[in-house]
């Protein structure tokens, strides 16, 4: 449990909370805090609101393996960097969806394994640099833990990917990972928005699907001036869709 004395320590500038719990109704007074990283924690929506309201000068927020909240709303114009890394998998379906409302952030990074979390960008209209190197494990997405079925898995993924690219279409720097590249190829007929990106970085594992996916992305990126490609080989394909769905590109 985080000590109350620390919660009102107004001289803190940088803080990393690892495996910490916060008492309900806690008061945060981190008036000088510039950077906050949360690791391995369970925080609900009210906890997030309380945290952010107590950090008026916060510029950088990082979340790593944190669960329990379904809405991340950042209303402070001071907070410019948001990093969402990994997702602490929960058996509770209520935590399998996250909406990010952050109209003032400039730098966004979403990375690591999000399992079946549906992370939606509701408002990130000021982002100039975005890094999307996460992966979703949708292998079992059609059958949730509660036994409910989601028959149109690919439509859900299609909507998410289209929304990501649409919301970030005005970013001037983009870094895209393997999972998103493969989705672009495997969801046949996916209509992509025109990207304004001038510097495009592709962080890829080499699979049978990645090269064609890259071509599709480049067709939607007519303003690219700098293209960076980092590549690593892997022995097992990272494609998480059913093999029958992928047969059209073999």
- The 10s digit of each residue's pLDDT in 11-65 is 999 999 999 888 887 889 999 999 999 999 999 999 999 999 999 999 999 999 9
Average pLDDT over every residue of 190-197:
90
pLDDT category at 165 given cuts 50, 70, 90 is: very high
pLDDT category at 248 given cuts 50, 70, 90 is: very low
Question: In this structure, are residues 124 and 103 in contact, taking their beta carbons and an 8 Å threshold?
Answer: yes
In the block, tokens 């945060």 appear at 28
- The 10s digit of each residue's pLDDT in 114-159 is 888 889 999 999 999 999 999 887 544 444 444 454 546 777 788 8
Strand partners, 182: none
Q: What pLDDT was estimated at residue 142?
A: 43
- Cα separation, 186 vs 183, in Å, equals 5
**Vertex 138 angle, CA 212 and 240, to 5°:** 40
In the block, tokens 């609101």 appear at 49
Radius of gyration of the chain (CA): 19
């Amino acid at each position: 449990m985080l000590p109350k004395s620390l919660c009102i320590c107004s001289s803190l500038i940088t803080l990393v909370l690892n495996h910490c719990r916060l008492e309900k109704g806690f008061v945060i007074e981190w008036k000088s805090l510039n950077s906050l990283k949360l690791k391995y924690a369970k925080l609900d929506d009210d906890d997030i609101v309380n945290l952010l309201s107590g950090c008026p000068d916060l510029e950088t927020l990082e979340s790593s393996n944190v669960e329990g909240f379904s809405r991340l709303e950042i209303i402070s114009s001071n907070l410019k960097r948001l990093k969402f890394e990994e997702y602490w998998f929960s058996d509770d379906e209520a935590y399998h969806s996250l909406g990010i409302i952050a109209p003032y952030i400039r730098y966004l990074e979403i990375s690591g394994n999000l399992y079946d979390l549906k992370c939606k960008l509701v408002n990130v209209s000021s982002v100039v640099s975005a890094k999307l190197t996460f992966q979703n494990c949708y292998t079992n997405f059609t059958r949730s833990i509660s036994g409910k079925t989601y028959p149109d898995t690919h439509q859900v993924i299609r909507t998410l990917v289209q929304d990501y690219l649409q919301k970030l279409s005005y970013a001037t720097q983009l870094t895209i990972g393997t999972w998103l590249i493969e989705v672009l190829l495997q969801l046949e007929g996916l209509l992509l928005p025109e990207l304004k990106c001038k510097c495009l970085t592709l962080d890829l594992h080499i699979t049978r699907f990645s090269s064609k996916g890259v071509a599709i992305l480049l067709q939607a990126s007519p303003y690219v001036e700098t293209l960076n490609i980092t590549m690593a080989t892997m022995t097992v394909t990272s494609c998480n869709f059913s093999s029958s769905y992928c047969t059209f590109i073999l």
